């Protein structure tokens, strides 16, 4: 057999092996696509609040949500997360229905402390999202509506630039039904999650 013939047969064998390997790799990938899942890597912030409980979103199981409750007898459920999105860089604080009637912050002086650079950053804005619309946070109290429909008040602390990898939010005191108390220190650290997640979620 000539050298050209041997080379042709060798290249054909290599081609066949590549095709077999491709079929082997394609099967699990196609199965994942049919099932609506794909390998994924997600950057997120893991929160930490003393006395809080970590939880995960439905689609991607990142430990990115923190739930805790404020007040002794006037209990105010709170959920926090940090989102370094392409359009909004924010720490989101959600207040839910509980046994409270009204709450307010004693000031709007929130600060973000970069734990790596040891610098303090002033937020670009602190806004309150309610069923009445969006408005800058003030020291005026938010009063719980008398209806029994679900209540979700969202406070958005917007950062002026890229969010630090490790930071904490320094908050003014909060007053719940006349009881003034410190708002707990919220810490966030950037993490990466890798795994299989739904495509359309």
Edge-to-edge strand list for the sheet holding 186-198: 37-48, 186-198, 166-170, 111-114, 119-121
Domain boundaries of the chain, sorted by first residue: 3-35, 41-198
Greater confidence, 83 or 201? 83
What was the pLDDT predicted at 201? Answer: 54
Q: What confidence tier does 23 reach under pLDDT thresholds 50, 70, 90?
A: low
- The more confident residue out of 9 and 82 is 82
- Tell me the per-residue pLDDT of 124-139, one tens digit each, with 9 for 90 and over: 999 999 888 899 999 9
Task: Decide which of 155 and 43 is more confident.
Answer: 155
The pTM of this model reads 0.75
Q: Specify the pLDDT at position 195.
A: 62
55/170 Cα distance (integer angstroms): 22
Residue 181 has pLDDT above 80, yes or no: yes
């Amino acid at each position: 057999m000539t050298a050209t013939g041997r080379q042709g047969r060798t290249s054909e064998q290599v081609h066949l092996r590549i095709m077999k390997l491709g079929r082997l790799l394609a099967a699990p990938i196609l199965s994942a696509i049919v099932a609506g899942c794909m390998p994924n890597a997600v950057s997120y912030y893991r929160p930490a609040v003393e006395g809080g409980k970590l939880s995960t979103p439905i689609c991607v199981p990142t430990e990115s949500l923190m739930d805790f409750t404020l007040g002794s007898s006037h209990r105010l459920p709170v959920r926090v997360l940090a989102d370094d999105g392409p359009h909004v860089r924010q720490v989101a604080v959600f207040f839910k229905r509980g046994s409270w009637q009204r709450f307010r912050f004693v000031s709007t002086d929130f600060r973000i402390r970069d734990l790596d650079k040891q610098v303090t950053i002033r937020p670009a804005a602190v806004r309150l999202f309610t069923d009445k619309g969006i408005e800058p946070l003030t020291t005026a109290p938010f009063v719980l509506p008398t209806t029994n429909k679900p209540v979700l008040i969202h406070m958005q602390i917007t950062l002026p630039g890229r969010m630090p990898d490790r930071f904490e939010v320094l908050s003014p005191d909060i007053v719940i039904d006349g009881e003034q108390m410190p708002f707990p220190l919220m810490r966030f650290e950037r993490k990466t999650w890798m795994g299989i997640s739904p495509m359309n979620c």
